[in-house]
A and B are shown apart, each in its own frame.
Chain A
Amino acid sequence: MSIPSGYAGNVLIVDLGKKTVEIIPTDKFLSDRGIEPRLWLGGDGFITRILWEDFKEPIDPLGPENEIIIATGPWTATAAPQSGRGMLGCIDPESGGFGSGSFGWIFPCTLKYAGYDIVIIRGKSDRFVYVFIDDGQVVFKDASHLRGKKNGETVKIVREELRERYEGEIRVLSTGVAGENLVRFAPPCADGTSCPGRTGAGAVMGSKNLKAIVVRGTGEIALHDPRGLLDASYDAVVKFNEKEPLLKLWQEQGASTCLGTTGNWPLNGGMLAENRDAADFPHFKNVGCMNCFNSCYHWLQIKEGKYSGLRHLGGHMTFLTNSLRNLEIKDFGEWIYFERYLQELGMDPASFSMGFTWAVDCFERGIMTLDDTDGLVLKRGDADLIWEVARKVAYREGKLGDLLAHGLAVASKKIGKGADEIAPHVRGKPYIQRDSKLQALMWSLGFLTSPRGGDWLRLHNVWELAFTPKKIDRYARYIGKDCPTIYDEALNLLDMPAELKKQIFGEAMKVDVGWIKGTGGKALFAAWTENFVALFNSLVTCMFGAATQFLLVGFGPTTYAEILNKITGWDTTSAELMASGERVFNLQRLFNYRLKGWTSKDDVWADKRAYEPGKMGIYKGKIVPWNDTLAEYYAVRGWSKEGIPTKEKALELKLGQMAEELEL
């Protein structure tokens, strides 16, 4: 096999313990491991395969044997739309299982321009260092002066001391204070602004005595058909702009759109029509990662209140959702400061805020006392108290800080006294909001089936969420339509085989309140979406342009195939790409099964309240049919009743070698 155009051509393996650097041609690296690029593409596909080969037994994720794997894909750093993304993987310190996360801004592209498709970092350094990848040269630099520095400061200091020749030449992926202190949900942060969140890889960096990975790349990416790629990309974006019903919302609101689109998310008992107002906050402009036509960052300044004058680049939905739901912060300035503060410390907002809200629950029930909280009276809505707790966690200060830094699952076991029965996590990973029954079925199912544990980003399907009842249907009216019309049009345009659409949406092919509230087709749509997510995470491109993720129509696999063929010279099809996605997702499942023994018995909510009738929303007064839907989901996936991919399924996906090893 030889590596086609679109790949950078090299793999970098850094051993921090031995202080050695090895640069291997990508085709040699892949063929040695039997990885066919067309089957695995890149990004999450490569990460999954490398983790599969390297970790057969459970390890201490914060021990020297863990690896940091940064993988780009053939899509990254080319002229294809939204080419600014890469993936970062490791054994997740929070869950102990598979971990990977997508990140962007300019770091992944620069890494590829420096000539690397994959970077693997192993071992543990005896002193505090950062690694500087300067095109073909890789050196270890002393980082003792960077200890305790926040992410932004680190970027500034490193750029100055390496004397970048123009601003932005050097890109820095650093770990913050929390990562240094081994907080198990600390992600690294690229250029102080884009984090491969949810993985805890920042803590892995901290455990390796690695402050940052710094890159300068001046090369170029060869393409099979450069002008064909430009035409295909142009057509794709023009079509996107013509057909995407949620486009106007995106153009105006960027990444907080999803709160606008998902107007039916209920908060505190009321329907969330006001979410749209929360999402539509004042900002100077939207700013994007490389080659983005649908940019999500807000460049903004707070005008009034305590944080008046603060300028910030961000305004992302995870922070807003967490602030609103888990911390009950409602002030705009406080919400923006929450994002800024957690980015500086380098902590995952979902894991932190879920830990905090769980601690409040425990405190209110008397499970935790003032002795456990270092004398703090825990409650939601008090911003200064929350910043104080965040600081304590990042620095592992006091009893409470140290407890929450272990992650929710470990912390709840330590406290005992029933604390683990109200701990909102799945397989050790907290999700995004404390009430798992708030959303529609498919979105919540994603928490149970995600390879990362209770995580929503591998099944963020808005088809249920964006459906708004007539009385609050403001966005639809704003663009001069009504919600059923938007859905009818979107259903026609959705890039999915007609047969599959019939199975998901019924013979009538209609999205209405009955479909939204029902269970029909949901398991199948969930599986399709997860395969699709694994696909674009392997290419690697952004979820903010992809079908069903935050948009109704977006780019589908056909568009991906057209563009990928121009990059690589392959003749791949949408079906082949979807099979790649399915392969990656199944191997992630097998990986967790082999490493942790996770089966259907682990696809459960630790928080027993998830099995009680809902208090609001679609499941008000009703129990969510988790088990029935999961059983249907396993069947749809071709898995056994225990939730393990069968031998037939593995063979179909060309995972025969893995099936043999596991004796499926």
Chain B
Amino acid sequence: MNERVIVYDPFYCSGCMSCMTACSTYNNGATSLTKARLQIMRHEGHAITGIDEEDDLVFDYINCQHCEDPICQHFCPTLAIHKDRDTGAVVVDKEKCVGCGMCLAVCPFGAISYDSTLRRITKCELCGGEPQCVRFCPTGALQFVPKDLAHLPKRDRLGRKKAKLRGRISEEKPV
């Protein structure tokens, strides 16, 4: 199986948004946060305001999950969306897309966006097989891994966390 997916581990994320600037720069030719195809949502209010001190500083990753049976594909009236079986990416045919926004409405992750300049839908297409977000992630929070093994790095991290809590190892991060 060739298919690889992007996985995100909030434990390592520093919230720097290098993934978003790399995404928009590579795909749009200009740097922007709003036009990046993936978003790191920054739930930071309590951290920077000092109010609600019990709350955590949370970064969250929203991007196309490249579903096996994409809902957006089902709803696209012009059949512009299909799943590329080689790369695993759900891609949009720019010629067929009419910019109706139906996919945007039905995507359960909010991972599809509308580009008002192009007047077309834009979404993550895995940069043709080398996702720039993963390339530019300085902390390793984003990984591009075989889909059927994607769960293992997270389990490894969780295992380390448990071991550290029990005082068995000193470093939570892998060496």
Q: Which residues of A contact B (CB under 8 A)?
A: 77-79, 83-84, 105, 109, 113, 150, 152-153, 155-156, 159, 166-168, 191-193, 218-223, 226-227, 229-230, 233-234, 237, 284-295, 299, 309-313, 340, 343-344
Contact = CB atoms under 8 A, between A and B. Distances in A.
B16 A291 contact: yes
Interface string B40-61: 0111110111110111110000
Given A153-B49, A237-B138, A291-B21, A220 B30 contact: yes
A167 B60 CA distance: 12
30 contacts: A84-B16, A105-B48, A150-B50, A152-B49, A153-B49, A155-B48, A155-B49, A156-B49, A167-B41, A219-B32, A220-B31, A222-B29, A226-B26, A226-B28, A226-B31, A234-B136, A285-B12, A285-B13, A286-B14, A287-B57, A290-B21, A291-B18, A292-B14, A292-B18, A293-B138, A295-B14, A309-B54, A311-B53, A311-B55, A312-B50
B17 interface: yes
User: Considering residues A193, A219, A292, A311, which has the most beta carbons from chain B within 10 angstroms of its beta carbon?
Assistant: A311
B122 interface: no
A192 B16 contact: no
A316 B42 CA distance: 21
A105 B15 CA distance: 10
B73 interface: no
A498 B32 CA distance: 39
Contact of B21 (A79, A237, A288, A313): A79
Contacts of B43: 167
Given A78-B25, A313-B47, 16 more contacts: A77-B31, A79-B18, A79-B24, A113-B34, A167-B43, A167-B44, A192-B49, A220-B24, A222-B30, A287-B14, A292-B14, A292-B16, A293-B138, A299-B47, A299-B57, A311-B53
Given A78-B31, A230-B132, A192 B50 contact: yes
A233 B132 CA distance: 12
Contacts of B12: 285
A221 B28 CA distance: 10
A468 B48 CA distance: 36
Contacts of B25: 78-79, 223, 226-227, 229-230
Contacts of A289: 16
B4 interface: no
Nearest to A290: B17
A532 to B, nearest CB: 23
Nearest to A227: B26
Given A220-B35, A310-B53, A293 B18 contact: yes
B124 interface: no
Contacts of A311: 47, 53-57
B135 interface: yes
Contact of A168 (B42, B51, B54, B135): B42
B138 A220 contact: no
Contacts of B44: 167-168, 313
B46 to A, nearest CB: 8
A42 to B, nearest CB: 15
Contacts of B45: 155-156, 159, 167-168
B36 to A, nearest CB: 10
B59 to A, nearest CB: 8
Contact of A344 (B15, B50, B135): B50
Contact of B31 (A79, A166, A340): A79
A313 B33 contact: no
Contacts of A294: 138
A313 B48 contact: yes
Nearest to B25: A79
A288 B135 CA distance: 18
B147 to A, nearest CB: 25
A312 B55 CA distance: 11
User: Considering residues B42, B47, B136, which has the most beta carbons from chain A within 10 angstroms of its beta carbon?
Assistant: B47
B51 A152 contact: yes
A501 B35 CA distance: 45
Given A220-B35, A311-B47, A83 B21 contact: yes
A425 B135 CA distance: 47
B130 to A, nearest CB: 11
A310 B49 CA distance: 13
Contacts of A155: 45, 48-49
A78 B31 CA distance: 5
Given A167-B45, A223-B31, A290 B16 contact: yes
B34 A218 contact: yes
Nearest to B36: A220
B2 to A, nearest CB: 25
